[in-house]
Structure 1
């Protein structure tokens, strides 16, 4: 009886077959030779590997291969040089077709692979992935890696149960789901790209995935992109100043003083002392009860008390009137925590629209909310949640510009993971944003960017080849490069963002001609 011979080589373990061979490692003084960073290979006749294809490079041993990704290529054909082509046209001599087919002996196609690492087959049959340590060998076969092995190469989950299904990784003519590991959200995500490339659509995908894993979301929406998603998922939409306000006692001294105009120097000093007392009381109340309820009369009384201690009762009376009038005029402030805070545990998403506000008012709302939520989270009074901030460059500007509100937001991002708070920042202008904040976000989703923004971001993207970086400005809409810390995701990867499954996209690019016609019809202008 004939026995079946089992192939125990690493190529068999990886599912490599004869038909998946695409070329042979080559060496040439002009086209390059293998290095520890890049491996050129001659493309086999009839094979057409695509840019970005993941490949395996065999060696003279059965338990060790290299792996990499195609980053560039060239085809050499001396019969297609401009001089030869011109002579053929002028004298009607030579071959009419300078490239009859792939088998033409004068046609040479060479591609280059970015060397990413090594795969070793252990004695127990398991695979171990290591950094490149050995040179690739010339004359050895290059194979297209089956797409279903890519998650193992990238060190990401192979099932949506283990993370967030963001899109698909393509390799050659096949693709596989890209699942961002669960750990990524706790160490923060930055989504960057110029206008109209798919950032807000990607945020919608992230929101769907957070909802699927039952992780609550608090989103601050500048452009209205998240309103539809919130409705579809059963969340609550708020409009700052209408049904979303924050207690005046938690916003911080500078912000509070900014709302009280025309205070004299003496009045400012008295109000500052009084507000510090109220502010401390509010934070203590938040920590102990999870609520704040400090009437405006309390700070008025504190102002009068401080003024009396200073022997300036008349000054205190005038200051108190200004504070009371300013509070009544401001729609963003209230005296106590509102019901929206109780909804965080029961709703998948709370979306606060702040697009109608000036930037100072936006900072106040976002900073005050961040302070309250982080204080409550430290005491376990609210569940772990994800904080989404749209147009983050407005709130966290570059150049060291800092207000107490922006300081609170920076501190939230810097310390949030210790309190089980995840952060997603979205910006179309990373060069206008605090670089340290971008660096704090371990995971970056990079869509097409302009050169100035690309220069800032490219240095934060891990082991990505220069050739890949140079193509970022031309990335197609809905395509992004995702990179992360190596313990979360081993290598950056080009991802096609998946389609929405539950929600509708909130920010399509308008057709201005159609919008003008619609407006004219509605207003009966002909």
Structure 2
């Protein structure tokens, strides 16, 4: 950029600046989250305003033990000599967004960042960029995010309930599908089943699993066989090996498995007890999970449609069934993408983004689950094979820290709990103390966005997804009144029927 002044002067730098942080004073400060351009020995540098505080020249020369009566008498005089002290984080030189090596000098001019500069920084054309929203401080500036970085570097969307997580997911998925992207959503609450994502390109995947395709760990989870039940695990493995040798299958998988267990010859009392226990658990599983276990079910990966929002409906399952279904899908997806990378025929010859709702349930901090193992594998290896993760949670402090730290992109909406704030900050070097302080004050739908998906950190007002979502708040009062109205009409109708019969 030329040395021509970039626009309106809003302040002047003071001492103790560094190549990454600058303080400046102003009588007409930009709001927190806005952008400024600062003069420096290396040219103009873009900065993000992270703190704004008031100062009074009169009070600066007074004792710190302020007398309220004196402050009251000074009144208008104090308001007349107020100025603002601001802190801006320097993001990079305008020409290349690389941090300068020298700090701005005291007295350097600070300008309000021109719209043209911000449009260049936050711009980008489809299909390599999609729109996320607008700058909260500049609604006339559109914010686009890098699709490749969004998928390959993994993303976490974190917020308290009702802050806009589901809306954010819907906006991103809708726009990815519209450019031909393939997304799988692990939907815990049926929020996306009736959605119109991608203009109607929604593929509902019912959680029906072929038990013959389950891993031993997945089968043990459904059966309720913990690893400490080593006798039960041992006889189950023996029966599975015998079942694999069968060339003809005349019954369902679970019935055949029970037969093989009964055929296991043993004189050891503990094994006999274990065999009977496993057979009983098989009978229980047949009743408990009859709606998800199906010997005729196609492989779950084969039901993924390219260029669609593939919604896996987990809303009717218990926690073990959810864990098994998610683990099975994650394992299969990673395997198929590895096959493709090796040049072997694969059912997933295209990259895929997996959205994990309620990520703290599938990957808890202090508990091992099947899904947690595969989420960790994908978090570490997925970038190489074109498998991206989008972790969504309202309880970040209970989410496994190793998996969360692999999410290089953060979209953090309103977070009130200090322990959650500290936990998120510990997982991301880019989330500064000043940005963390803004989290409780964010409005619904506003988010701090940082990471490779965006050129510089931004406070973004996420677009409102126009279609229906199950996660939206219901109008409680309206539904109560509607129900009472229907009840009243039903009572009146009943009275009329009784009177007509009497007459």
TM-score normalized with structure 1 length: 0.77
Deviations 1:246-281 (A, max 9, x none): 121333324423444799976653222222566899
Residue of structure 1 in register with 2:93 after alignment? 118
Corresponding residue of 1:34: 17
2:377 aligned counterpart, secondary structure: helix
Q: CA deviation at 1:53?
A: 2.0
Q: Given that residues 462 and 491 in structure 1 are in contact (C-alpha distance below 8 angstroms), is that contact kept between their aligned partners in structure 2? A: no
Partner of residue 313, structure 2: 353
Cα RMSD over matched residues? 3.7
* Residue 73 (structure 1) aligned with residue 52 (structure 2): yes
Aligned residue runs from structure 1 range 5-20, under 5 A: 10-12=2-4, 16-17=5-6, 19-20=7-8
For the residue of structure 2 that corresponds to 1:130, the secondary structure is coil
Q: Is the 8 A contact 1:189 1:443 kept in 2?
A: yes
- Which of 387, 395, 420 pairs up with 2:354? 387
The verdict on how the C-alpha distance between 1:519 and 1:398 changes in structure 2, with shifts beyond 3 A counting, is: farther
Structure 1 residues 315 and 470: alpha-carbon distance in aligned structure 2, compared to 1, 3 A threshold: closer
Structure 2 matches for 1:3-402, cutoff 5 A? 10-12=2-4, 16-17=5-6, 19-27=7-15, 33-43=16-26, 47-59=28-40, 64-78=43-57, 86=69, 97-98=76-77, 106-119=81-94, 127-150=95-118, 153=121, 157-171=123-137, 174-229=140-195, 233-238=200-205, 243-260=206-223, 268-275=233-240, 295-296=253-254, 299-300=257-258, 302-303=260-261, 307-308=264-265, 322=280, 325-326=283-284, 328-329=286-287, 330-331=289-290, 332-338=292-298, 341-346=301-306, 348-379=308-339, 380-382=346-348, 383-399=350-366, 401-402=367-368
Shift of 1:205: 0.6
Aligned residues: 469
Q: In structure 2, the residue corresponding to 1:356 is in which secondary structure?
A: coil
Structure 1 stretch displaced more, 187-196 or 409-418: 409-418
- Quick one: which of 509, 516, 520 aligns to 2:473? 509
The residue that corresponds to 2:400 in the other structure is 434
How has the CA–CA distance of structure 1 residues 135 and 393 changed in structure 2, closer, same or farther, with 3 Å as cutoff?
same
Q: Distance in 1 between matches of 2:336 and 2:438?
A: 44
- List gaps (5 residues or longer) in structure 2: 340-345, 492-503
Equivalents in 1 of 2:72, 2:369: separation in Å?
70
Instruction: Quote the offset at 1:445 in angstroms.
Output: 0.8
Instruction: State the distance in 2 between where 1:309 and 1:445 align.
Output: 57
Question: What's the offset of the Cα at 1:432?
Answer: 0.7
Gaps of 5+ in 1: 1-8, 28-32, 120-126, 282-292
User: Normalized against structure 2, the TM-score is what?
Assistant: 0.80
**Contact persistence 2:408–2:428 (CA under 8 A):** no
* Aligned equivalents of 1:169, 1:397: Cα separation in 2: 33
Q: 1:234 to 1:280 in 2, by over 3 A?
A: farther
Give the equivalent residue in structure 2 for 1:453: 420
Change (3 A) 1:308 1:405: farther
Residues 52 and 84 of structure 1: CA distance in aligned 2, closer, same or farther (over 3 Å): same
